Amino acid sequence: MIKKEIRKINEVGKALVSVEGNPGVALNHVVELVNASSDQSISFAKAINITEESTRFQVYIGTQGVSTKTKVRLHEVPTTVGFSQNMLGRSFDGIGHVTDKGPQIIFEKELPTQLDTLNPTVRLVPKQPLWTGVPMIDVFNTLVKSQKIPIFAGPTEPYNRLLAQIAKGAQADVIVFAGIGLKFDEHHYFKEELSKSGNMSKTIMFTHLAGESQIKGLMLPDVALSVSREFADQGKDVLVLLTDMTNWSNILRNVANYQDMIPSLQGYPGSLYSELARRYEVAADIEGAGSITIIGATTLESLEDPVPDNTGYITEGQFFLEGGKIKLARSLSRLKQQVNDKTRSDHRAIMTAMASLLADAEKAHEASEVGAANDSYSQKLLKYRSDFISQIEEPFGTPVELDQALDMCWDLLRKHFEPAETGITQKILTEYWNK
């Protein structure tokens, strides 16, 4: 079938082009930009705003080199990504094109990338823990299959190292790596780590490198999540690693800006929350099928920045990385109570007690900085705090089983406190204090 073509582009901006009139393009449908003389394909683009007078497109690989005589060829389908089991072990760009040197992939089917919402009634209430071997996660903020949770970290923190550490140990059938605005060495680091752990054969990497076209980066999560969802629909447990969603949000901000949208906070569009939610909400444990768990990385200067702030309202908690440690006070797994009452009988009690003592210790620490922690109890708390940071908040190193991690916690309590000071009920104390 001959596809309809438009022979003139009226406006070319950053990432966007417009044509005059109404060529019959539908919203979110794909067009192809084609060199007028050589007939070679330049890029695909998507219709984002249609009026009687003009139609506006987002150009996937950017607009550098697009001529006013470039032809626009209509494809009359929404954006899709190719899917194949053979994608495992391979690397792709933000629009699902192969970037490694492996053999050609014959795609079994084309998946729409618009991420329709899963009907909430087919969601299972998440009840399966996902053990990581990191005590700060397993004891204090247990991860649950189908959870969506970001790592909040300053730009210089080892958040990618933590993502890799979790990915290496996590029990998933398929790992989908989705990197947006990555430096090449970060991409390389993940590939190495996953290969070393023997997980590369069940991993698909989607990478958008810093400096590549913004629209490719913008589309990457949808492409990666559509592929993830297909695996989950086929019964697989999928772990998606999204890094870094602040880069993604910044691209969203740029593109909204090119479209002259009214900004709400710090230049981000008012839809930032909904846009982030549409991606994170793909995480689910699906009745009669598999599951998708999403761990993201969100870099931040301040928690009040719109990206971490909106993310926090969307995700089911966060791991807060500071000084290379996962900080208890700012970390939270919202789903932990779904699973941590079915582990060891002291799990919840010790979690609560240690957190509450640490909060007191943080106050004593603040006081000590102005020389006010002068009583013996404060001194006790300070010692506890320092042990807690070095032993419990440390995420890197040999993985620790839950039992062992809980015993570590009791050791710490016994070392620093009297039983009554812990606030733990007598029943639990009798069972575990002298164990």
Partner 1 sequence: MNEKVNKRTGKLINIQDSLVQVRFFDEVIMGETAEILVEEKSLQGEVLQIKSDPKNPEAGIVEMQVFEDLTGAKIGDEVVFTGQPLSVLLGPGLLTSVWDGLQNSLYYLSKTDPYLRPGMKAPALDEEIKWDFTPTVKPGDTVKGGDVIGSVPEGNFEHKILVPFAMGTCTIESIIEKKAVNITQTVAVAVDNQHIKHELKLAFRQPVKTPIPFKERSIPQEPISTGTRVIDLLAPVAYGGTVGNPGPFGAGKTVLQHTLCKYALADIIVMAACGERAGEAVEVFKDFAELKDPSTGQSLMNRMCIFGNTSSMPVAAREASVFIALTVGEYYRYQGYNVIMLADSTSRWAQALRERSGRQGDIPGPEAFPMDIPDQIKGMYQRAGSDAATGGSLTFIGTVSPAGGNFQEPVTQATMDSTGGFWGLSQDRADAKKYPAIDPLAYTTSQYNGFISKSDREKILHTLQETNSIDQTISTIGLKKVPIDKYILYQKGTTIDFCVLQQDGFHDVEACSRPDRLEVINDAVQTLIDSEIQFAQGERDDDDFKQHIKSKFDLFRQNWKDWNYNAVKEKQIAQLKEKVDNFILQKKDS
Calpha distance 207→204 (Å, rounded): 10
Nearer to partner 1, 119 or 156 (CB): 119
Contact call for residue 420 and partner 1 (CB under 8 A): yes
Q: Is the Cβ of residue 65 or residue 423 nearer to partner 1 in the bound state?
A: 423
DSSP string, 319-359: EEEETTEE-TTT-EETTGGGTTTSS-TTHHHHHHHHHHHHH
395 near partner 1, rule: CB under 8 A: no
Q: Is 366 in the site for partner 1 (CB under 8 A)?
A: yes
Query: Residue 287 CB, nearest distance to partner 1 (Å)?
Result: 8
Residue 237 binding partner 1, by CB under 8 A: no
CB of 339 to partner 1, least distance (A): 12
Tokens of 154: 């300053």
Q: Which residues pair with 29 in a beta bridge?
A: 78
The phi and psi torsions of 112 (rounded to 5 degrees) equal -65, 145
Q: In what order do the strands lie in the sheet with 5-6?
A: 5-6, 71-78, 29-34
Distance in Å, CB of 149 to partner 1, minimum: 11
247 touching partner 1, by CB under 8 A: no
Window 87-146: residues binding partner 1 (CB under 8 A): 114-126, 146
What DSSP element (H or E) covers 75?
Answer: strand 71-78
Phi, psi of 182 (to 5 degrees): -80, 150
- Using CB under 8 A, which of 345, 356, 386, 404 touches partner 1? 356
**Taking the complex as a whole, how short is the minimal distance between the CB of residue 27 and partner 1, in angstroms?**
5
Is the backbone peptide bond immediately before 237 cis, with ω within 30 degrees of 0? no
Instruction: Give backbone dihedrals phi and psi of 91, rounded to 5 degrees, phi first.
Output: -120, 140
State phi, psi for 209 to the nearest 5 degrees.
-90, 150
Shortest reach from residue 261's CB to partner 1, in Å: 7
* Rg of the chain, C-alpha, whole Å: 25
Residue 5, classed as helix, strand or coil, is strand
Cα–Cα distance, 233 to 288 (Å, whole number): 8
Please report whether residue 343 would count as binding partner 1 according to CB under 8 A. no
Work out how close the CB of 337 gets to partner 1 at its nearest, in angstroms, rounded to a whole number. 6
Stretch that binds partner 1, among 42-50, 168-176, 292-300, 407-415 (CB under 8 A): 42-50
Stated length of the chain: 435
Report whether 299 contacts 243 (CB < 8 A).
no
Which ranges of 126-211 would DSSP assign to H, the alpha helix? 135, 159-169, 184-196
Q: How far apart (Å, rounded) are the C-alpha atoms in residues 202 and 231?
A: 11
Decide whether 27 or 210 has the Cβ nearer to partner 1.
Answer: 27
Q: Which of 6, 15, 17, 50 binds partner 1 (CB under 8 A)?
A: 50
Position among 37, 64, 104, 374 found at the interface with partner 1 (CB under 8 A): 374
Supply angle C-alpha 356, 327, 345, rounded to 5: 50
Q: How many residues bind partner 1 (CB under 8 A)?
A: 88
Q: Is 52 in the site for partner 1 (CB under 8 A)?
A: yes
Per CB under 8 A, 376 contacts partner 1: yes
Among 7, 14, 188, 330, binds partner 1 (CB under 8 A): 330
**CB closer to partner 1 out of 200 and 424:** 424
One-letter identity of residue 408: M
First-to-last alpha carbon distance for the chain, in angstroms, is: 77
Measured from the CB of residue 37, what is the shortest distance to partner 1 in angstroms?
Answer: 30
Question: CB of residue 129 vs partner 1: minimum separation in angstroms?
Answer: 16
Segment interacting with partner 1 (CB under 8 A) among 26-34, 37-45, 156-164, 397-405: 26-34
**Should residue 18 be labelled a site residue for partner 1 when binding is judged by CB under 8 A?**
no
Nearer to partner 1, 86 or 362 (CB): 362
| Residue 306 engages partner 1 in binding (rule: CB under 8 A) | yes
From the CB of 54, what's the least distance to partner 1, in Å?
10
User: Among 90, 331, 326, 294, which residue's Cα sits nearest to residue 172?
Assistant: 294
345 near partner 1, rule: CB under 8 A:
no
Residue 13 within binding range of partner 1, rule CB under 8 A: no
If binding is defined by CB under 8 A, does position 318 make contact with partner 1? Answer: yes
